[in-house]
Amino acid sequence: MSDFKIIIGLEIHAQLNTKSKMFCCCDNDSQGKKPNTVVCPICLGMPGTLPMPNKEAILKTLKLGKALSCEIPNYSKFDRKHYYYPDLPKGYQISQYDMPLCIGGNVSLELNGVMKSVKLNRIHLEEDAGKLIHLSKNTIVDLNRAGTPLVEIVTEPVISSPAEAKEFMRSLQKILRQLNVSNADMEKGHLRCDANISVIRSDQSSKIIEIKNLNSFKFVYRALEFEINRLTSDFEGNIGPGKQTRGFDSKRSQTYPQRLKEEASDYRYFPEPDIPTIDTTLLKIEEVDSELPSTFVLRVHEEYNLSKEVAKKLTHNLELMSCFIVLEGKLNHDSLKRSANWLANEKILRINPDLLVTLNRSIEKSEINSSQAKSILRSAVDEEDIVQQIKKFRSNDGRDIDGVRKIIDKVVESNKKEKEKYLAGKKQILGFFIGQVLGELKGNGNPEEISQMLKSKLDGK
């Protein structure tokens, strides 16, 4: 399989946790309720009804887009996507085609100790269909879910393995929950994934396969793993243009054919005539800032011993909070606390989790100190720039041990009164000596190493 290149793109549907449905006033929480009881003429698709867009759903979509560094166009619109299915009573779905609410963006993840940023193509807003319930001899339709607001997050085809796809889903779920955009419970159908995959060998590509409705991290991994094995073992039989939609049998861990995959033209998209174009410049994204969970402030304050002021700064800036969420679990406690203070208080040229991870790991390896890291943060534009600046600091950081010892001897001898206070038990004066030595080294020394050397000198070891 080593001579094959794997190309994966994901389309993730997340139900928004709004109070009402996307285009009507029906309760958006139908969990556990009797079939077809949380419905009205609009979500039942009755003739003559008029959809009314849910402002809360639009704002939550924009909030997610901002958190994931998407471009927010000035104008967006809804479209009709036509197809027939028993749980789609109108015969079309109100979705978005060529003018989505959010364009581009990225989601950062870590896999095997390596940070990666997965590029997004778009995030758009649409309504969900109903649900088919298959009984022993019959299939019935429950339309309670019809009209539920969905965001569809579409990645670029840049994912290269089932493990990476699984980790992407985990990272996205965490972000959705932390932003209070979606409950993102896969077991309850709040978060579902369609995975597109093809394999390439030399200049030949297999058909694109879309695996529909994967509703657990484990199923995403197993379905893609099976499909990679199937496509590579029968590569010659799958070469050529064309797309196919397949389902996933979780009991057998196998995909199975369903139908030829539709193209955009098959859906006969056209602008939804009953909903005017949305001018996003008139919407105030700050209106939803207050909805950010207060528990986030309390949690990071207690868990990482951050000041409430820093925690609030992270909470009320979506870009900062998104970066912090990505860094959680990727850095140790001290590095995460350090990064949170940087994000809240430093004028960082480019907010990027990858860059913060690189800097923190350099500090952990004693390659640079915290002051040097902050200096790099204020000027670095990409990871390569950071690496070069770290090398520059390392080449001038006073690692000439004999030279550093001479400076320490000089500082201690020039400050005999402070030395006597230290020996008398005033150990906090060590910070004074460290500052004097760093001053002689023009800030390029490593405080931890200097601290240990000073202790040895002052204690006469």
pLDDT per residue as tens digits for the range 56-85: 999 999 988 988 888 999 999 999 999 888
User: With contact defined as beta carbons under 8 Å apart, do 346 and 378 qualify?
Assistant: yes
What's the 3-state SS for 65-98?
Answer: HHHCCCECCCEECCEEEECCCCCCCCCEEEECCC
Domain definitions of the chain by residue range: 5-271, 292-395, 401-458
What's the 3-state SS for 437-456?
Answer: HHHHCCCCCCHHHHHHHHHH
The CB-side HSE value for 461 (13 A sphere, CA atoms) comes to 7
State which amino acid sits at residue 370.
S
User: Considering the chain, what percentage of its residues have pLDDT values greater than 70?
Assistant: 90
The pLDDT of residue 444 is 63
pLDDT per residue as tens digits for the range 33-60: 999 999 999 999 999 999 999 999 999 9
Confidence of residue 398 (pLDDT cuts 50, 70, 90): very low
φ and ψ at 213, to 5 degrees? 55, 60
d(CA 153, CA 101): 11
* β-pair type (106-111, 114-127): antiparallel
Say whether pLDDT at 360 is over 60.
Answer: yes
pLDDT per residue as tens digits for the range 121-168: 999 999 999 999 888 889 999 999 999 999 999 999 999 999 999 999
Say whether pLDDT at 329 is over 70.
Answer: no
Residue whose token pair is 């619109």: 77
d(CA 237, CA 206): 9
* Range of 51-65, 330-344, 434-448 with top mean pLDDT: 51-65
Number of other residues whose CB lies within 10 A of the CB of residue 344: 18
How is residue 222 written in tokens? 């197993």
Confidence of residue 285 (pLDDT cuts 50, 70, 90): low
Mean pLDDT, residues 373-377 taken together? 82
Burial class (CB in 10 A: 0-12, 13-18, 19+), 202: exposed
Say whether pLDDT at 1 is over 90.
Answer: no
Looking at domain 401-458, does it have CATH number 3.30.390.10?
no
Kindly report whether the global pTM for this prediction surpasses the value 0.85: no
The pLDDT of residue 371 is 78
How is residue 414 written in tokens? 């020039």
The pLDDT of residue 198 is 94
pLDDT per residue as tens digits for the range 171-226: 899 889 878 899 999 988 899 999 999 999 988 999 999 999 999 999 999 999 99
The pLDDT of residue 395 is 55
